[in-house]
Structure 1
């Protein structure tokens, strides 16, 4: 999608010329689709080290192509207080090359939001939820021990123009699914009542959509665990527990912008048994895709573990579908009436790296990690693994009722994810 930049002013005719004077002409970014695939909303990340910026006052990027301004944002991915990444999305024909003009301005442009993160916390059962961007939770701060749920929607939620998700930060660390009926961002008060108290009001259909997935003691859609040949090790606990097996859980909203939102989690001293691990997780979403990207790294590994990425199967008896014809990724999917009460058609999938994929297994039907298909991935100490979690709901697109349509979407998306964009900076 393209959006035209406008200047914020009470008098547009006066402000527009001044805005033009304040624009600093910059570099040309030559982008080339090296594949034979049509690309829609292809994410583009440009390292700050490749760019030059002469005027320190001109701090907002204008990414211009064919006289239109593409929505973009600056991300601080290493959390040092300075941006290090220019991010935007763009469409490409096969083998197409585009010359993007990068200009700078001191007027902050306003773009339609196509991604968002929501996170809120209350300090007691009697105080309203307040929005916040970070959290540290200790092992004894679970709902069972506090006597109340402290987080809006049980933890952070994130979305794009296609689909939404939430993470159970309350010790369960599963990933849940919000089905969306519109492309707009859902209201900020989802999960709150009129007094600002935590309330489960998102299992009721609203104009924007609702929570549609039963998670139980699974890890949900894209949640993960460690497994060995003899043991399933859940990251965290269940809703019935009062003490976490993770000593300290840290969360931060790294970025929230019109075309990219990033969430970060750190789990210090995770002790599922006599072993101790630490985990880092980065969740990323951008527009146009019915899913999100997750990146996980673990330290403390003994060498006999696999990373197990989950696909909840509470409401389906169908076997897991698998496609491995892509050179970079393997697709694992289910398609069934597998929403709450089996009311709607829902396709869910994991897209995992082929060079890490070691097959799949299934969690037990009962226990603290259950009801999940699990993709087994080869993992090494402190080596990040990235994968994608995808969901196609029939009320988002009625064609998702057809399994073949969902499969074709997954294959097309995987080809797009596999495609590489060559980036050349010209002064």
Structure 2
């Protein structure tokens, strides 16, 4: 059974986990006014079913009846794309302006949830049909087609001009972190093989209460060439700008899954001294990092024209990016 039965949204809870400075741990039921929770990250797994051989030659999670949110997950060896095990296929994170999700399988791309409302919506997404988020809803929808790319700000390794995703990994462990001032998705990949290299990779994707960006931090276990990130190519001209320390690449235009397609801006900020080159790949506009065994930091964002009180023009989008670049040049941080 490929679709999970509808789970009463009224029974779902958001958790604002306390950090070291917090005095309380607030649980807020979806459907009530959310005042304490400003950011949110979640991972939801199917319950009540079992792994069975599927028609595509791999296991599928069959006859699931509900989803359950978990704080952490050792991803089952059976899991790959479209196994019906993870609600919207991976972890999601959001604030009042935008949401993102990562395909927690070999694709490892990052997608955008465009939001028409200024409230948190992830607990609703994918509850009324496994891939219902592709259709327009009152809250918004999945607006980005990642295809074979890394989506927006995803990560892989370029080998012989081809981006290697996560087809070969010994194990993947994901953990959600909801603090008062941010929410993060933390992932540990053990034995990621690409080309003739095998490394461990730890990643952290963090969203803050204000603005649309995610801070990405990648920490490889050893220095290898070719680790990369990028922006999916949708026939939109690439814009780029460099400062003395930081730079960005961006696209803006009709490149969404909305019908008809409407305007979406995407951007990626990176440190010039951490990057070997910026170039065009087969499916992505690429940013390729220098070999390093230290943490690599970059930021990515999307800006949808249907967002409530959002950015409506390319001129406004570029103006916003330039302000962020100026902040990075001065403080080494957007937030």
Please say whether Structure 1 and Structure 2 have the same fold, judged by a TM-score greater than 0.5: yes
Asked if 1:175 is matched to 2:116, the reply is no
TM-aligned CA deviation for residue 182 of structure 1: 1.6
1:52-131 aligned within 5 A: 75=19, 83=20, 86=21, 111-123=35-47, 124=49, 125-127=62-64, 128-131=66-69
Cα displacement string for residues 347-401 of structure 1 (whole angstroms, at most 9, x for unaligned residues): 000011122133312222xxxxxx11111222312x1101001111101157634
Unaligned 5+ segments in structure 2 are 1-15, 28-34, 50-61
Asked if 1:204 is matched to 2:135, the reply is yes
Equivalent in the alignment of 1:48? none
Q: 2:143, 2:256 within 8 Å by CA — same for their partners in 1?
A: yes
Equivalent in the alignment of 2:209? 287
The 3-state SS of whatever aligns with 1:122 is: strand
Equivalent in the alignment of 1:137? 75
The correspondence for 1:248, drawn from 171, 181, 193, is 171
Q: 1:143, 1:150 within 8 Å by CA — same for their partners in 2?
A: no
Q: 2:206, 2:214 within 8 Å by CA — same for their partners in 1?
A: yes
Count of residues in Structure 1 that have an aligned counterpart in Structure 2: 295
TM-aligned CA deviation for residue 133 of structure 1: 1.1
Asked if 1:311 is matched to 2:231, the reply is yes
1:339-350 aligned within 5 A: 339-340=256-257, 343-350=261-268
Q: CA RMSD in A?
A: 2.4
Equivalent in the alignment of 1:392? 303
TM-aligned CA deviation for residue 408 of structure 1: 0.4
User: Partners in 2 of 1:114 and 1:291 — Cα distance?
Assistant: 14
The 3-state SS of whatever aligns with 1:225 is: strand
TM-aligned CA deviation for residue 177 of structure 1: 0.3
Q: 1:235, 1:246 within 8 Å by CA — same for their partners in 2?
A: no
Q: 1:223, 1:310 within 8 Å by CA — same for their partners in 2?
A: yes
User: Partners in 1 of 2:215 and 2:93 — Cα distance?
Assistant: 12
Give the TM-score taking structure 1 as reference length. 0.64
1:374-385 aligned within 5 A: 374-381=286-293, 383-385=294-296
The correspondence for 1:165, drawn from 92, 97, 100, is 100
The 3-state SS of whatever aligns with 1:283 is: strand
Cα gap change, 1:73/1:354 in structure 2, threshold over 3 Å: closer, same or farther? Answer: farther
Asked if 1:373 is matched to 2:285, the reply is yes
User: Partners in 2 of 1:221 and 1:151 — Cα distance?
Assistant: 20
Bigger Cα Rg: 1
Cα gap change, 1:282/1:404 in structure 2, threshold over 3 Å: closer, same or farther? Answer: same
Q: 2:115, 2:308 within 8 Å by CA — same for their partners in 1?
A: no
Cα gap change, 1:287/1:417 in structure 2, threshold over 3 Å: closer, same or farther? Answer: farther
TM-aligned CA deviation for residue 205 of structure 1: 1.7
Cα gap change, 1:392/1:126 in structure 2, threshold over 3 Å: closer, same or farther? Answer: same
Cα displacement string for residues 317-363 of structure 1 (whole angstroms, at most 9, x for unaligned residues): 233111113x3310100011000156110000001112213331222
User: Partners in 2 of 1:338 and 1:281 — Cα distance?
Assistant: 27
TM-aligned CA deviation for residue 161 of structure 1: 1.4
Cα displacement string for residues 284-337 of structure 1 (whole angstroms, at most 9, x for unaligned residues): 110211121100011244x4x132111011x3x233111113x33101000110
Q: 1:162, 1:183 within 8 Å by CA — same for their partners in 2?
A: yes
Q: 2:73, 2:173 within 8 Å by CA — same for their partners in 1?
A: yes
The correspondence for 1:416, drawn from 327, 330, 333, is 327
Q: 1:222, 1:311 within 8 Å by CA — same for their partners in 2?
A: yes
Which ranges of 4 or more aligned residues in structure 1 deviate by more than 4 Å?
A: 106-111
